[in-house]
Chains A and B, each alone.
Chain A
């Protein structure tokens, strides 16, 4: 039972570098999300997708990009890493419509530090 798999688990970047955080789910969920979790601030929604080929911005999208070419994968791209993007990033997925009523299944996170 893999569920939602995120890679890498840890990463250190230099300012200005770029990288892609990978997320894959094997539950055939249409809906996928990216969040960031800063200490004492809860989770904030970066981007979400309601199906392959469809993505939309969340609360804090600046500095990030996403794509959804398949149902299973939802990568998050940082083009020019900045110290403010140091955070723990969580990918999640859910089945069906209903917005916030649907349970979201989370990966174990990617801990990203930008120095």
Chain B
């Protein structure tokens, strides 16, 4: 079982559509990160959120950390083919590196 559950697992949409990806847990996290991974490459950090209720925007991407710090969401506005990839959330519990967990990912395909 995954400590962080991501949904949906797969998402295929047309260019220009909006979408939301969810990252949920029954556990509390001190911080949460979102990464994007392209085939054959390692994950690349998009954002880190540390405060419950925090909202961060990165161009067309909006990230939110839940008030209780148990969940997070990633919203993409007007998706583009360049957004295609695997989106991973990762959460830390305290300062211990061995308590750092990745979700299973959401595979996004944006069709032109």
Contact = CB atoms under 8 A, between A and B. Distances in A.
Interface string A1-19: 0001000000000000000
Name the residue in A43, A58, A97, A98 with the highest tally of chain B Cβ atoms < 10 Å from its Cβ.
Answer: A43
A63 interface: no
Contacts of A31: 97
A88 B78 CA distance: 32
A41 B97 contact: no
Nearest to B97: A48
B104 A41 contact: yes
A43 B103 CA distance: 7
B76 interface: no
Interface residues of B, number: 33
Contacts of A57: 98
Interface in B21-51: 29-33, 40-45, 48, 50
A50 B100 CA distance: 14
A103 B42 contact: no
A104 B35 CA distance: 10
Contacts of B99: 99-100
Interface of B: 2, 4, 9, 29-33, 40-45, 48, 50, 88, 90-105
20 contacts: A42-B104, A43-B88, A44-B102, A45-B97, A48-B97, A50-B97, A57-B98, A58-B97, A90-B42, A97-B95, A99-B31, A99-B92, A99-B96, A100-B32, A101-B50, A104-B43, A106-B43, A107-B42, A108-B42, A109-B42
Given A56-B98, A100-B100, A108-B40, 17 more contacts: A41-B2, A42-B2, A42-B88, A43-B88, A45-B98, A56-B97, A90-B42, A98-B95, A99-B30, A99-B92, A100-B90, A101-B30, A103-B33, A104-B43, A104-B45, A105-B45, A106-B42
